[in-house]
Copies of this chain bind each other. A is one copy, B any other.
Amino acid sequence: MNINQKAQNYLKVLSAETITNAQAGNLGVCLGASSILFSLFKDHLNFDVSDTDFINRDRLVLSADHASALYYSVMSMFGFDISLQDLKNYGKKGSKTPIFAEYGKTDGVEITTGPSGQGVANAVGMAIAEAVMEERFNTVGFDIINNYTYCFASDADIMEGVAMEAASLAGTLKLAKLILLYDSNEVSMDGSLDLTNRENVAKKFAAMGWNVITVENGNSYFFCTHAIARAKKSTKPTIIIFKTIIGLGTLKEGTSVVHNEILTQEELKILKQELKVKESFFIPSDVRELCMASTRRGKLMHEKWNQDLAMYSSTHPELYKSFSMFFDRKKISFDRILKNVSKYDGLSTTKINHYVLSELAYQCPQLLGGTADNAIESLAYIENAGNFSAGYKRGKNIRFGVREGAMSAICNGIALYEDFITFETSYMAFANYSLPAIRLRSIMQIPVLSFFTNDSVVESGSGAAYQPIEQIGSLRAIINNTVYRPCDYKEIVAGYTYSLKNYLPVCFALSKQNIKHIDNTSLDGALQGGYLLKNSGAKPQVVLVASGSEVELALEAEKELSKKYKVNVVSMPSLEVFEKQTAAYKNKVISKEADIICVLEASNDTKWYKVLGGKTEVFGIDEYLENSIEKDALEKYGFNTKAIAKFIETKLKTK
């Protein structure tokens, strides 16, 4: 048996033992796809185990995260900080080897991919980021950035719409350094793929502009490594279709039952006999030496890169300076942005956001993002920065196409490649398409700016399907996500500040309609989530709380109500940020002594009740508005001073 074969056998046994030991994990893919990952790590992947954040490392995105036991095993073999003991701790509380690989828990794991399909789009994002860096910083003789992005994907990934959207965009953008390693075992959880997917994946990807390589024997090291070598030379993104046998070497190989299989000790023994492995949780010294050669290769390549960079710095001092400062956020002057956009006060927050974005771009070369085909309405593009395209990779505006789901997952990839400041844009009514990726982003705490425009039912003409009502609540309900619904330029800048300084994801709800100038708004207040706009004195009877376009209305209502009652007005652009303030601050803003705390927001979000407490009444929307092209639909629906005053008086009487 040659050493490569031997190494793969030990790799298979390692992952099988990991799974049996933990009584958790998915065996099928670990036995079926070992050659793919082994050949990748051995011959191709550019990695440095002593510096896994090395910017020019190759990225590997494990979209098929049910292969995590295999992934950890191969990482362990190739010198990453995963010991055999860590494999024994697979899935245990606090271990660095969770059942499904997670960003931040294991050195070298690039991203949490979660539900099928997401990882493919994440990889497209990383490949976009690489292309940007390559375009901006490489010069003749100096390939400062030239890493590949590999994505390991399964039959499930290939069925998911988010992956297909991303693949279509990758082909359009000709992302040559993107290589999709498709473990085609033709079995999914419920059975043979025949029943669910008979498409010709090769032809489908070719039609999307991809280079396609098919490896008939995907369980052979030799064929796998040569295919990857060929893929690296492509001028288009490449999919390598590895035909593999799920659960290879077990009695149930090639069937769906082996997908979630956990071998018994007896079955494990049979597998080990077949693979000629006697020891448990063991890597023989010759195999370890084989792998260490690749680990050393990685280290040497990093050293060579350091030398190249030193030479680059003397040959191209200006470029080098840009390169080393590229991701620096400390230089951002939010004051300057605030000052420069103040002249747009009184416009819609959608319009103001356009100028904030362009001001930020002026200070930050690392700003990169775009829209799902609604730039014309959302205005979320950077002036004079061009579109990122196959022919112009210097462009800063990404045109994602009508692919909202992929857009959001791609942004996660861009943000994780390195510290890009990235943004995405959609209509609030379509925010549901983005939720899966926003959820993962929130779990990982990666800072993407999400812009959702047409954020309320201010016009009803397009009908219920286009009336956003519950979406802002769904965004706010995502744990560790933050929503800002600003009422003016100061509050917009607060949202940016909160995201950029804290490296946190923020979703913006932006108005279509203009919002009149509002006195006393405050960036500092908005940075605390909510603050008093109008203070009637020590003990108000009524506290009016509003967000975004309804703040204007709250101030109008205050004029009416203050004839009879002591009324405070609070602007609360972010419930999540407000929740985090001290009890003293919160009580100052929302006086506990008040008789009623009335929230004005054109949504049905119930989070207000939780954040503001037992006296809260929400004046919101619980139904779709009647279709009408007439303006002021919201006002006619009852979002007017008179109705609000009546609502509050009635509530006060029944208290």
Contacts and interface: CB of A to CB of B under 8 A. Distances in A.
A629 interface: yes
A367 B209 CA distance: 41
Contacts of A195: 172, 387, 389, 399
Contact of A207 (B191, B207, B439, B477): B207
B465 A190 contact: no
Interface stretch (A153-161, A332-340, A495-503): A153-161
A376 B117 CA distance: 20
Contacts of A627: 91, 93, 95, 98-99, 102, 105
B203 A209 contact: no
B624 A190 contact: no
A465 B112 contact: yes
B115 A429 contact: yes
A559 B112 CA distance: 42
Interface in A598-630: 604-610, 614-616, 618, 622-624, 626-630
Interface stretch (A8-16, A131-139, A401-409): A401-409
A326 interface: no
Given A161-B162, A195-B389, A435-B474, A24 B403 contact: no
Contacts of A197: 168-169, 172, 401
Contacts of A165: 159-161, 164
Given A92-B629, A374-B190, A463-B112, A168 B199 contact: yes
Given A199-B172, A208-B199, A461-B99, A188 B387 contact: no
A160 B161 contact: yes
A1 interface: no
A256 B479 CA distance: 39
A114 B430 CA distance: 10
Contact of A606 (B160, B377, B435, B606): B606
A199 B207 contact: yes
Interface in A391-446: 399-403, 405-406, 429-430, 432-433, 435-436, 439-440, 443
A629 B22 contact: yes
Nearest to A260: B376
Contacts of A159: 165, 168, 373, 401-403
B466 A100 contact: yes
A479 B171 CA distance: 39
A94 interface: yes
Given A389-B195, A606-B477, A628-B93, A115 B204 contact: no
Nearest to A387: B195
B626 A190 contact: no
A23 interface: yes
A290 to B, nearest CB: 32
B436 A402 contact: no
B610 A618 contact: yes
Nearest to A622: B479
Contact of A430 (B95, B115, B201, B202): B115
A283 interface: no
A469 interface: yes
A375 B191 CA distance: 10
A116 interface: yes
Interface string A97-123: 011101001000000111111000000
Contacts of A462: 99-100
A583 B379 CA distance: 48
B160 A196 contact: no
A616 B102 CA distance: 36
Contacts of A99: 461-463, 627, 629
A189 interface: yes
B604 A479 contact: yes
Given A439-B465, A479-B604, 7 more contacts: A115-B465, A164-B164, A169-B196, A204-B207, A443-B465, A477-B605, A610-B618
19 contacts: A22-B629, A23-B629, A91-B628, A92-B630, A99-B462, A100-B463, A102-B464, A164-B168, A169-B197, A189-B373, A196-B399, A203-B206, A439-B465, A440-B465, A443-B464, A479-B622, A479-B624, A609-B609, A614-B615
* 7 cross-chain pairs, A with B, having the tightest CB-CB distances, nearest first: A161-B161, A114-B465, A196-B401, A609-B609, A203-B207, A91-B629, A204-B207
